Structure 1
Amino acid sequence: MPDQWDLSRPDERHLAAGEYALGVMSADERARFEALLAVSHDVQRDLADWRERLQLFNEQLDPVTPPDSVWRAIAERTGAARWRSLALWRALAGGFAVLAMAFSLLWLAPSAPSPDEAAVYVVLDESRNPDWIISATEEGALRVRAVQPHRVGADQTGELWLVADGTPISLGLLPERGTRLLRPDAALRERLMTADLAVSVEPEGGAPEGKPSGPIIDHGRLTPVRGARLRF
């Protein structure tokens, strides 16, 4: 997955889902993609679409039985040449394949998003890896999960801002680890879906004068979750 891909853009998320379905991502790329996959209905739908397409393509191909020489070559290269029975090797290979597929399905299955999730914003670092995942609930609270906020040092904290008409308004401090629930007041909740959000690095305890004093490390907007009902 190219480093310059922006997973907040639907077209690039769709292409990333294709690479994930094909199994061509590196371990770091999978971790980055799965962080968004765990919370976004849109990304889960993109992945399901890709898997359906690949399955349809696979069903159009006629099965091919490899010749015995292929199985012997596999056995020799994997140190299994001492197993004389080709039938036994095939049976074991099939059994391991089934087990591998079962474990991979369990490992790759995304955790179900919270049922009250209305929108999501993923705070990304300079390498497009997730620092925090911020989910807006249908009632207007913000559920923030720390992934790997490595740009926040000792005696520092991340602070979330809503930028309204060019003026940053603090929504609260972001957790160093685990999850934190932020509860904006009614006036701010009404602007969550239309205003920009930004994250700055501040001294421990937050911005001392009520406005960003440290570097802005990311900015973006909440992306609505398909089918969610906004009540704020």
Structure 2
Amino acid sequence: MSNPDQSEGDRARDEVLAGEYVLGVLSSEKRLQVEQRLRRDRAFAAIVARWEDNLAPMDEAYVAQTPSATVFPAIEYRLFGAAEQPVRAAIWTRLWSSAPLWRSLAFGSFAMLAGVLIFGLRPPVSPAKPERLLHAHLEGHGDTVLSLAADFNPADGRIRLTPVASGQPQPKSLELWMIRGNDPAISLGVLPQDGEGEVVIPDAMRGELTSGVTLAVSLEPEGGSPNASPTGPVIASGQVRMP
């Protein structure tokens, strides 16, 4: 059991000590120490009051019971030393007076209540939703042997490109474009020379990258197109679709 003096300042020990006090499982000496502390330690007194409030509803589950016929003879035996104690009364008396029994029952109730308070108040964990990726296969145009596979994750706005085949001359740059119908092409960024890497789509544009949109790769001067549209030949393109 917790020591009333050692637990001062330790919230976890104070919780255990308060529970033991309210459940009545402390020895007379420790109970007296706790009562003395309650008069000087307001924070600890508040913890004890909370335990009493939490356990108060348990009183409603119990109703008055008429004691069995063995109780009164056992009381007479203990008070007046009757010549012969009934066997059943003796057994009942030993059980009723057994401190280990009552402490075990009290600790069991304490553990069950703590489990309810700790685990019962945790919000249910929602299963993680699987990521829905969009995929496009960018086929090479003309004599270009470059071919790319593109995977777009709308959650973080990243397009992952993986070259299937590469034949990129140096020192040119590969630039990725998004084309919606007949709208002008919109640059999504410059790719590494071999075409493999990630491009992060700005938040405002992520909703526009949907199934049916065309992704295209053009061959641009080193560093990318000098203006807002492709200047070099489109060497690979493909439509975005659900895998």
TM over 0.5: no
Q: Compare relative contact order (CA 8 Å, sep 6+) and give the higher one, 1 or 2.
A: 1
Using the size of structure 2 for normalisation, the TM-score is: 0.40
Q: Which has the larger radius of gyration?
A: 2
Using the size of structure 1 for normalisation, the TM-score is: 0.42
